[in-house]
Structure 1
């Protein structure tokens, strides 16, 4: 390794680069562009993935939403246009007859006026069970979510979103233990959470109260607004969706081919589409980046072949003076690795700067398409190591060419 510290070694590399400044510069730009593309595309892919996780990360991915609508066909004496109403008994039938279920969570919703002292606002009020926090995780800031005791005792407690806190409370007021009025009924605030992108109540926010309390206050009886159904990971959520809808049609005497009576949204299927897109995007990113890198490295190999041809007489003199074939090879390989390393470092730095600019500009704000576009350090190290290996391998070609010429023939070269 002493040759790496040898001043003459680096002077020779510098002299070679200085003789062909334009050619060397263009070659370095080619390799730099390759790793720059790789870094930026990987960062952009990560930004899209981060945004996707922000949107859907709180949901159990293997989930489907089911609700009732009007029938589209007459069946068993019932006319077309009959309004279907889901019941709590439907949930028990689903739990007992459908395989592969993890959670079946009923939900209710109304709009209501909430008041705290002289501050008011109209918000979405949801009747929920504790299991909701398992299929749609709440990012709690203070307190807790609904628990089993709340359900059993029909407690008048509520959990509010952060946006509601900002509208109904003075700044720095601790909300837990305070009371707010919802449609003139006092509710004890037991929790506050950050608003999610998906499933939230829009800019106004949501309030959650126990399902049984909602039933009693709004005189719902055993009605259900809609269900969130989560399947076990090993079961196909699309099949679960079809089985649930068919069962509900049978329970409510709906024609089996009626596609309107029972509505659904398969979150698991939609998420699978997005994850498939992200996987394809990452593969394409690596393919484009590596292909561009290889093209740039081959360009370095071609430049070194030309350089070797131009320096044939010089190499012949070195061989005649006693330089071994390995010493000649080593010098050319070192030049190849040096050029690829410089180009790689510049590409990584430039790519990092571009990702920082993207993060500061279009990567911030609630509507950002790219969230925190970054590249993991191990990925950068792997890319850099790959570049060095490619530089070494491509340097072997001109190096072998350099030592394949006999010294006496090299000295005759004009």
Structure 2
């Protein structure tokens, strides 16, 4: 039941003892402020790591080859290793049950022209699954499909900024562009979270590129998406096994990373997860220390406050106040100060993070530092409960002494 007189007394007590109230609140606010800043910065680091891989699916794997750096089985160093369609087919057949998406890649740099506008762009020849591996977002039209591959169609999907460069505000769908001297039909416009460079790319069917630019079955790279139901450890083991099998199949030394490597996002995610786990553990340790310091500060202040108000409690009891009434008033005052100070610390911490967010991203690669309200609210509740206990124990003791003893207290 709301007791207006009780709250008037509480606010009168706070107003009368401003320094004590400010000191109590400062202890709580400072603890929550530090807690918010620490977790916000760690959260920003986590966002930076995630942003670094925003352009690719989290379950992606990439098989790439180059030149051998070690002799093996009588084959010389410096031998050029070339991926071919048969290698792509081998992976599909051998590991199909562990693969969600798959695509070959061929990298080209071509001049793309539309009327008087022309410039050099990165053009990638791919399979339809590449849309999901590259996290390509189709804004208009469609992506490449199996029919485009089968018919070796001269169609192209262009990035949002590439479209803007060549077409401006004019529509681009169903228009034809000149790609390295050949006419291609624009069938889709895409956007990409990877940034401006990604949105100035274009995609064409893999089979079209093989037919027109070399008349061969060569591919530059193989991109895969492993089964997302695999654990990180299982995905890492799968990648290692596939790499060993490919080395054996292509007569490459087991330790020759230059000739063949498999970049597995599972390894990166596992490493990042372990690093962030250690970082969060450190922050929790430091944050807990900050909260403990805040709890000790509240406890010490409340013990001093109760001792200072012992005579007041004696007078109240002499006038007929019950111990429960005295204890309740002190506890309510403590909880009120702690709650308001905790909210102030949370608000100030959030404001500081938003204020320095851009600077942290530019100078320290800490992206969008923020903190989950649930974490800080939980920390505030801990401090509020601590303030309640810190007020209750000495108040209960003081309220139970006899009025005459309370009046004699120094």
Whether the TM-score (by the shorter chain) exceeds 0.5 is: yes
| Partner of residue 356, structure 1 | 354
The answer for the alignment partner of 1:401 in structure 2 is: 397
Residue 63 of structure 1 is matched in structure 2 by 60
Q: Deviations over 1:225-258 (max 9, x none)?
A: 0111222232523222222222222222233343
1:2 is paired with a residue whose SS is coil
- Change in Cα spacing, 1:201 to 1:227, as seen in structure 2 (3 Å) is farther
Shift of 1:382: 3.7
Deviations 1:342-363 (A, max 9, x none): 211211221232233234x437
Q: Distance in 1 between matches of 2:306 and 2:225?
A: 66
SS in 1 for 2:303: helix
Distance (Å, rounded) in 2 between the aligned partners of 1:201 and 1:183: 22
Shift in Å, 1:371: 4.1
The equivalent residue for 2:408 is 412
Q: In the aligned structure 1, how far is the partner of 2:207 from the partner of 2:178?
A: 18
* C-alpha distance in structure 1 between counterparts of 2:186 and 2:36, whole Å: 47
For residues 201 and 317 of structure 1, the distance between their equivalents in structure 2, rounded to whole angstroms, comes to: 74
Matches within 5 A, 1:10-21: 10-21=7-18
For structure 2, list consecutive stretches of 5 or more residues without a partner in the other structure: none
**Contact between 2:106 and 2:124, CA under 8 Å: does it hold in 1?**
yes
Deviation of 1:86 after TM superposition, in Å, equals 0.9
SS of the counterpart of 1:115? strand
> What is the aligned counterpart of 2:315 among 309, 314, 317?
317
Question: Unaligned 5+ residue runs, structure 1?
Answer: none
**Correspondence for 1:225 among 220, 224, 227:** 220
Q: Equivalent residue of 2:100, what SS?
A: strand
Structure 2 Cα separation of the partners of residues 376 and 174 of structure 1: 42
Query: CA–CA distance in 1 between the matches of 2:186 and 2:49?
Result: 31
Partner Cα distance (1:175, 1:280) in 2: 49
Deviates more, 1:280-289 or 1:346-355: 280-289
8 A Cα contact 1:64 1:237, kept in partner: no
Per the normalisation by structure 1, the TM-score is 0.88
- Aligned-residue offset at 1:280: 3.9
- Preserved contact between residue 301 and residue 336 of structure 1 (Cα < 8 Å): no
Between stretches 81-90 and 186-195, larger displacement belongs to 186-195
Taking structure 1 as reference, are residues 327 and 169 closer, same or farther at Cα in structure 2, changes over 3 Å only?
A: same
After TM superposition, the structure 1 = structure 2 runs for residues 44-55 of structure 1, keeping only pairs within 5 Å, are 44-55=41-52
Moved more, 148-157 or 44-53: 44-53
- For residue 157 of structure 1, report the CA deviation from its aligned partner: 0.9
2: CA distance between counterparts of 1:119 and 1:231? 40
Q: Would you say how many aligned residue pairs link Structure 1 and Structure 2? A: 406
Counterpart of 2:161?
A: 163
SS state at 2:156 partner: strand
Q: Which residue of 1 aligns with 2:172?
A: 175
Residue 144 of structure 2 is aligned with which of 146, 150, 155? 146
In terms of mean alpha carbon deviation, does 385-394 or 75-84 score higher?
A: 385-394
CA distance in 2, matches of 1:51, 1:254: 36
Alignment match, 2:248: 250
* Contact 1:34–1:290 (8 Å) recurs in 2: no
Correspondence 1:91-130 to 2 at 5 A: 91-98=88-95, 100-130=98-128
3-state secondary structure, aligned to 1:208:
strand
CA displacement 1:7-38 (0-9 Å, x = unmatched): xx344434443454334323311210111223
Corresponding residue for residue 278 of structure 1:
276
Q: Counterpart of 1:26?
A: 23
CA root-mean-square deviation:
2.6
Partner SS, residue 64 of structure 2: strand
Q: Segments of 4+ in structure 1 off by > 6 A? A: none
Distance 1:43 1:24 in 2: 28
Counterparts of 2:409 and 2:73 in 1: how far apart (Å)?
100
Whole-Å separation in 1 of the counterparts to 2:354 and 2:196: 32
Q: 1:336 aligns with which of 334, 337, 341?
A: 334
Deviations 1:41-97 (A, max 9, x none): 333344444444444245232332111122223333322221111111112222333
Asked if the contact 1:94/1:247 (under 8 Å) is kept, the reply is no
Q: Structure 1: how far apart are the matches of 2:290 and 2:220?
A: 54
Specify which of 74, 79, 82 is matched with residue 77 of structure 1.
Answer: 74
CA contact 2:106–2:125 (8 Å) conserved in 1: yes
Q: Which residue of 2 aligns with 1:210?
A: 205
CA distance in 2, matches of 1:135, 1:413: 76
SS at match of 2:193: coil
